[in-house]
Amino acid sequence: MAVYTEITDEEVQGFAREYDIGRVIACKGIAEGIENSNYLLVTEQGPFILTLYERRVRRDDLPFFIGLMEHLAQRGIPCPVPVRGRDGESLRHLAGRCAAIVTFLRGMWPKRPQPAHCQALGEALARLHLGGADFPMQRRNDLSVGGWRPLYEASAPHAGAVAPDLAAELTSELTILERRWPQHLPQGVIHADLFPDNVFFEGTQLSGLIDFYFACNDFLAYDIAVCVNAWCFENDGSFNITKARRLVSGYSAVRPLSPEELRLLPLLARGAAMRFLLTRLYDWLNTPKNALVTPKNPMEYLQKLRFHRGARGLGAYGLDALDAA
């Protein structure tokens, strides 16, 4: 939870006058969100979300993210729509930061995802992939397999403070992943961070996908793998094959997976676990004690990585029936 930048009444009112959204009635920092400062902006026209982009988001990437949301929204994906100012620009400046106003989405993120949520998520993810197919901009995934070793090396000297022998385990795992990582799978724009707190529901009806600030071009099936890790493990670390099956079958019903994509899903999930383990490990070791944001424990993703390493085939994921189908 984080609001890094305090903005004054005058700044907000002045900023809002560059838009056709009416006068600002209130502006409150939102506790959710980690990378940026988010405010609920209530104007005479209703609620909006105001985002100030903090240092972790590169300015050069913002046109990709903003353009992608506009593109997807035009294709019916329920994502925030960037609001353009009177001058046609949706990316502006406020309080020394890049800033944008986006539409407010209905719904709440599921604190305890159920199988029905996973199915709806799979369907929406497939629609996102199809909708992004003709998005003209490109953004490389810096956090894919090529980015893992540098991240690992930045943390390795202190990894022992988190778990004994962690460095040895990660280096062996990295070598395997680098060797086995696929070269050719269907690619496109992926969300790359579709955790439950980035997906809104009304009941079990999916009402919004948010936080496109890791979106990039990569294997489409890798996006499913990120979701499998984020949605299909229970709090006790056990893997819920029902959720995995509903997620993947929901996806396949909209965009059928190739046999190759399905076969490689466990490997992609293993890589996705490595990616989140490495960034969490880095943040865990490098976040100052007095930071506003409490870093997430990397051990959760070490356990997920170990699950994937130990899993034998699609059956361990409840996906063997899909393979035959």
Using the rule CB under 8 A, is 120 a contact of its own copies?
A: no
Q: Does 299 bind its own copies (CB under 8 A)?
A: no
**31 and 41 Cβ atoms separated by less than 8 Å:** no
The least CB distance from residue 188 to its own copies, in Å, is: 30
Interface with its own copies in residues 78-107 (CB under 8 A): 104-107
Given 6, 20, 153, 234, the residue binding its own copies (CB under 8 A):
6
260 forms part of the interface with its own copies (CB under 8 A):
no
Tell me if 290 contacts its own copies by CB under 8 A: yes
Nearer to its own copies, 29 or 186 (CB): 29
* 253 touches its own copies (CB under 8 A): no
Which of 20, 32, 178, 260 lies at the binding interface for its own copies (CB under 8 A)? Answer: 32
Selected from 56, 86, 112, 312, the binder of its own copies by CB under 8 A is: 112
The position carrying tokens 């209130």 is 26
**Is residue 321 involved in binding its own copies (CB under 8 A)?**
no
22 part of the interface to its own copies, by CB under 8 A: no
Please say which residue, 22 or 146, places its beta carbon nearer to its own copies: 22
Residues of 16-41 as b/e, b for ≥16 C-beta within 10 angstroms? Answer: beebebeebeebebeeebbbbbbbeb
- The verdict on 132 binding its own copies (CB under 8 A) reads no
**Which residues from 195-214 bind its own copies, rule CB under 8 A?**
200-203
Dist CA 258 CA 260 (whole Å): 5
* Residue 38 β-bridge partners: 51
Phi, psi of 101 (to 5 degrees): -105, 130
Torsion, Cα of 140, 156, 276, 287 (10° steps): -100
State which residue, 51 or 141, has the beta carbon closest to its own copies.
51
**Residues near 234 by Cβ (< 8 Å), separated by ≥ 6?**
240
Strand partners of residue 103: 48
Using CB under 8 A as the binding rule, whether residue 235 contacts its own copies is answered as: no
By CB under 8 A, is residue 2 in contact with its own copies? Answer: yes
Task: Please answer whether residues 201 and 190 qualify as being in contact, where contact means their C-beta atoms are separated by less than 8 angstroms.
Answer: no
Near its own copies by CB under 8 A: residue from 78, 85, 110, 188: 110
Which runs of E-coded beta strand occur in 210-318?
216-219
Q: Is 234 in the site for its own copies (CB under 8 A)?
A: no
294 touches its own copies by CB under 8 A: yes
175 Cβ contact list (under 8 Å, min separation 6): none
Alpha-helical (H) ranges within 111-192 are 115-131, 145-155, 166-180
**Which residues of the chain form contacts with its own copies (CB under 8 A)?**
1-3, 6-9, 12, 24-32, 40, 42, 47, 104-108, 110-112, 200-203, 289-290, 292, 294
